[in-house]
Amino acid sequence: MAKTGFRGEVSPGRDLLVALLARNWWAIGLRGVLAIAFGLIALFLPGATMLSLVIVFAIYACTDGVFGIVSGVRAAQAGERWGLLVFEGLVNIAVAVIAVLWPGITVIAFVLLVAVWAILTGALELAAAFRLEIEDGRWWLAVGGLVSLVYGALLVVAPMIGAVVLTWWLGAYALIFGVSLIVLAFKLKARLDEHRRG
Protein backbone atom coordinates (compact mmCIF):
# COMPACT_ATOMS: atom_id res chain seq x y z
CA MET A 1 0.00 0.00 0.00
CA ALA A 2 1.35 3.39 -0.98
CA LYS A 3 2.06 5.74 1.88
CA THR A 4 1.05 9.36 1.51
CA GLY A 5 0.30 12.34 3.70
CA PHE A 6 1.43 13.40 7.13
CA ARG A 7 0.73 10.21 9.05
CA GLY A 8 1.75 7.81 6.31
CA GLU A 9 -1.82 6.69 5.59
CA VAL A 10 -3.86 6.87 2.40
CA SER A 11 -6.24 9.66 3.45
CA PRO A 12 -4.73 12.79 1.91
CA GLY A 13 -7.53 15.19 2.91
CA ARG A 14 -7.31 14.36 6.59
CA ASP A 15 -3.53 14.12 6.56
CA LEU A 16 -3.18 17.51 4.90
CA LEU A 17 -5.42 19.04 7.56
CA VAL A 18 -3.42 17.44 10.38
CA ALA A 19 -0.15 18.57 8.78
CA LEU A 20 -1.43 22.12 8.39
CA LEU A 21 -2.63 22.23 12.00
CA ALA A 22 0.64 20.73 13.24
CA ARG A 23 2.73 23.33 11.40
CA ASN A 24 0.66 26.06 13.04
CA TRP A 25 0.51 24.51 16.51
CA TRP A 26 1.83 27.74 18.04
CA ALA A 27 -1.14 29.73 16.70
CA ILE A 28 -3.56 27.25 18.27
CA GLY A 29 -1.63 27.47 21.53
CA LEU A 30 -1.73 31.27 21.37
CA ARG A 31 -5.50 31.16 20.90
CA GLY A 32 -5.69 28.96 23.97
CA VAL A 33 -3.59 31.38 26.03
CA LEU A 34 -5.76 34.32 24.93
CA ALA A 35 -8.93 32.37 25.76
CA ILE A 36 -7.58 31.60 29.24
CA ALA A 37 -6.65 35.26 29.74
CA PHE A 38 -10.15 36.32 28.70
CA GLY A 39 -11.67 33.67 30.98
CA LEU A 40 -9.68 34.91 33.96
CA ILE A 41 -10.67 38.52 33.24
CA ALA A 42 -14.33 37.49 32.96
CA LEU A 43 -14.17 35.59 36.26
CA PHE A 44 -12.27 38.18 38.28
CA LEU A 45 -13.37 41.42 36.56
CA PRO A 46 -16.95 40.74 35.43
CA GLY A 47 -17.78 44.45 35.26
CA ALA A 48 -14.97 45.15 32.81
CA THR A 49 -16.00 42.12 30.75
CA MET A 50 -19.62 43.27 30.56
CA LEU A 51 -18.51 46.76 29.56
CA SER A 52 -16.24 45.41 26.81
CA LEU A 53 -19.10 43.27 25.44
CA VAL A 54 -21.35 46.33 25.40
CA ILE A 55 -18.69 48.31 23.51
CA VAL A 56 -18.25 45.53 20.95
CA PHE A 57 -22.03 45.41 20.50
CA ALA A 58 -22.14 49.22 20.09
CA ILE A 59 -19.41 49.10 17.42
CA TYR A 60 -21.31 46.38 15.58
CA ALA A 61 -24.64 48.23 15.77
CA CYS A 62 -23.07 51.50 14.60
CA THR A 63 -21.28 49.82 11.69
CA ASP A 64 -24.45 48.00 10.70
CA GLY A 65 -26.34 51.28 10.89
CA VAL A 66 -23.87 53.07 8.62
CA PHE A 67 -24.08 50.25 6.07
CA GLY A 68 -27.88 50.37 6.28
CA ILE A 69 -27.88 54.11 5.52
CA VAL A 70 -25.42 53.62 2.64
CA SER A 71 -27.68 50.89 1.25
CA GLY A 72 -30.66 53.24 1.57
CA VAL A 73 -28.85 56.06 -0.28
CA ARG A 74 -27.85 53.67 -3.07
CA ALA A 75 -31.42 52.37 -3.28
CA ALA A 76 -32.71 55.96 -3.54
CA GLN A 77 -30.22 56.72 -6.33
CA ALA A 78 -31.45 53.62 -8.17
CA GLY A 79 -35.07 54.72 -7.77
CA GLU A 80 -35.89 51.88 -5.37
CA ARG A 81 -37.49 51.98 -1.94
CA TRP A 82 -35.04 53.41 0.56
CA GLY A 83 -36.99 54.66 3.58
CA LEU A 84 -36.90 51.48 5.68
CA LEU A 85 -33.18 50.94 5.04
CA VAL A 86 -32.33 54.44 6.21
CA PHE A 87 -34.70 54.13 9.19
CA GLU A 88 -33.12 50.81 10.18
CA GLY A 89 -29.65 52.36 9.92
CA LEU A 90 -30.65 55.31 12.10
CA VAL A 91 -32.20 52.98 14.69
CA ASN A 92 -29.00 50.92 14.81
CA ILE A 93 -26.88 54.02 15.29
CA ALA A 94 -29.24 55.26 18.02
CA VAL A 95 -28.99 51.90 19.80
CA ALA A 96 -25.18 52.09 19.57
CA VAL A 97 -25.22 55.57 21.12
CA ILE A 98 -27.51 54.38 23.93
CA ALA A 99 -25.23 51.39 24.55
CA VAL A 100 -22.19 53.68 24.89
CA LEU A 101 -23.90 56.38 26.97
CA TRP A 102 -25.84 53.98 29.22
CA PRO A 103 -24.05 50.61 29.19
CA GLY A 104 -25.99 49.44 32.24
CA ILE A 105 -29.26 49.61 30.30
CA THR A 106 -27.72 47.51 27.52
CA VAL A 107 -26.53 44.85 29.97
CA ILE A 108 -29.90 44.74 31.73
CA ALA A 109 -31.72 44.50 28.38
CA PHE A 110 -29.53 41.52 27.39
CA VAL A 111 -30.10 39.79 30.73
CA LEU A 112 -33.87 40.37 30.48
CA LEU A 113 -33.81 38.89 26.98
CA VAL A 114 -32.14 35.77 28.40
CA ALA A 115 -34.73 35.76 31.20
CA VAL A 116 -37.64 35.83 28.73
CA TRP A 117 -36.00 33.04 26.75
CA ALA A 118 -35.55 30.93 29.90
CA ILE A 119 -39.16 31.48 31.02
CA LEU A 120 -40.62 30.64 27.60
CA THR A 121 -38.41 27.58 27.28
CA GLY A 122 -39.35 26.42 30.77
CA ALA A 123 -43.07 26.85 30.11
CA LEU A 124 -42.83 24.91 26.85
CA GLU A 125 -40.83 22.13 28.53
CA LEU A 126 -43.44 21.85 31.31
CA ALA A 127 -46.25 21.70 28.77
CA ALA A 128 -44.40 19.00 26.84
CA ALA A 129 -43.66 17.06 30.03
CA PHE A 130 -47.34 16.50 30.76
CA ARG A 131 -47.79 14.94 27.33
CA LEU A 132 -45.16 12.29 28.07
CA GLU A 133 -45.63 9.10 29.99
CA ILE A 134 -43.76 8.69 33.27
CA GLU A 135 -41.53 5.96 31.84
CA ASP A 136 -40.60 8.26 28.92
CA GLY A 137 -38.96 10.75 31.26
CA ARG A 138 -41.84 13.08 32.15
CA TRP A 139 -40.31 14.11 35.46
CA TRP A 140 -36.89 14.86 34.02
CA LEU A 141 -38.38 17.18 31.44
CA ALA A 142 -40.60 18.76 34.11
CA VAL A 143 -37.58 19.36 36.36
CA GLY A 144 -35.72 20.94 33.46
CA GLY A 145 -38.69 23.19 32.76
CA LEU A 146 -39.00 24.22 36.41
CA VAL A 147 -35.28 25.00 36.64
CA SER A 148 -35.55 27.14 33.51
CA LEU A 149 -38.58 28.99 34.92
CA VAL A 150 -36.84 29.65 38.24
CA TYR A 151 -33.68 30.81 36.46
CA GLY A 152 -35.67 33.20 34.27
CA ALA A 153 -37.55 34.56 37.28
CA LEU A 154 -34.32 35.14 39.19
CA LEU A 155 -32.87 37.04 36.24
CA VAL A 156 -35.96 39.27 36.16
CA VAL A 157 -35.78 39.93 39.91
CA ALA A 158 -32.02 40.63 39.98
CA PRO A 159 -30.77 41.37 36.45
CA MET A 160 -27.38 42.80 37.47
CA ILE A 161 -26.57 39.71 39.54
CA GLY A 162 -27.69 37.69 36.53
CA ALA A 163 -25.32 39.65 34.33
CA VAL A 164 -22.41 38.85 36.64
CA VAL A 165 -23.35 35.15 36.66
CA LEU A 166 -23.60 35.11 32.85
CA THR A 167 -20.14 36.70 32.70
CA TRP A 168 -18.77 34.04 35.04
CA TRP A 169 -20.22 31.31 32.81
CA LEU A 170 -18.60 32.96 29.81
CA GLY A 171 -15.31 33.05 31.72
CA ALA A 172 -15.57 29.38 32.71
CA TYR A 173 -16.28 28.44 29.09
CA ALA A 174 -13.29 30.46 27.87
CA LEU A 175 -11.00 28.78 30.43
CA ILE A 176 -12.08 25.27 29.42
CA PHE A 177 -11.85 26.16 25.73
CA GLY A 178 -8.38 27.69 26.21
CA VAL A 179 -7.02 24.69 28.10
CA SER A 180 -8.33 22.33 25.42
CA LEU A 181 -6.65 24.40 22.69
CA ILE A 182 -3.33 24.39 24.54
CA VAL A 183 -3.50 20.61 25.00
CA LEU A 184 -4.30 20.26 21.30
CA ALA A 185 -1.39 22.55 20.38
CA PHE A 186 1.12 20.44 22.33
CA LYS A 187 -0.24 17.22 20.83
CA LEU A 188 0.13 18.71 17.35
CA LYS A 189 3.65 19.90 18.15
CA ALA A 190 4.58 16.38 19.32
CA ARG A 191 3.14 14.99 16.07
CA LEU A 192 5.16 17.49 14.04
CA ASP A 193 8.37 16.67 15.94
CA GLU A 194 7.75 12.96 15.40
CA HIS A 195 7.19 13.53 11.67
CA ARG A 196 10.41 15.56 11.36
CA ARG A 197 12.43 12.89 13.13
CA GLY A 198 10.92 10.18 10.96
Q: Is the pLDDT of residue 131 over 80?
A: no
Q: Is the pLDDT of residue 186 over 50?
A: yes
* pLDDT for 134: 67
* Residue 5 in domain: no
Please give the tally of structural domains in the chain: 1
Q: Are 194 and 60 in contact (CB under 8 A)?
A: no
User: What is the rounded average pLDDT of the residues 29-34?
Assistant: 91
Q: Is the pLDDT of residue 132 over 70?
A: no
User: What is the rounded average pLDDT of the residues 100-111?
Assistant: 87
User: What is the rounded average pLDDT of the residues 57-84?
Assistant: 88
Range from 46-50, 162-166, 177-181 that averages highest in pLDDT:
177-181
On the 0-12 / 13-18 / 19+ scale of CB atoms within 10 A, 42 is buried
Confidence bin at 33 (pLDDT 50/70/90): very high
* Residue 119 in domain: yes
* Residue 4 in domain: no
Q: Percent of the chain beyond pLDDT 70?
A: 87
Q: Is the pLDDT of residue 136 over 60?
A: no
Q: Are 60 and 102 in contact (CB under 8 A)?
A: no
* pLDDT for 3: 43
Long-range CB pairs of 104-109 (<8 Å, 24+ gap) are 104/160, 106/54, 106/57, 106/58, 107/50, 107/54, 107/159, 107/160, 107/163, 108/159, 108/160, 108/163
* Residue 18 in domain: yes
Instruction: State the chain's mean pLDDT as an integer.
Output: 83
Q: Is the pLDDT of residue 62 over 90?
A: yes
* pLDDT for 94: 93
* Residue 6 in domain: no
Q: Is the pLDDT of residue 135 over 80?
A: no
* Residue 85 in domain: yes
* Residue 51 in domain: yes
User: What is the rounded average pLDDT of the residues 20-45?
Assistant: 88
Confidence bin at 76 (pLDDT 50/70/90): confident
Domain hosting 83: range is: 12-193
- CA 86 vs CA 56, 69, 83, 154, 173: distances in Å: 22, 5, 5, 38, 38
- Residues 6+ positions from 86 with CB-CB distance below 8 Å: 68, 69, 72, 73
- Residues 6+ positions from 194 with CB-CB distance below 8 Å: none
* Residue 170 in domain: yes
Distance between CA 22 and CA 190 in Å, rounded? 8
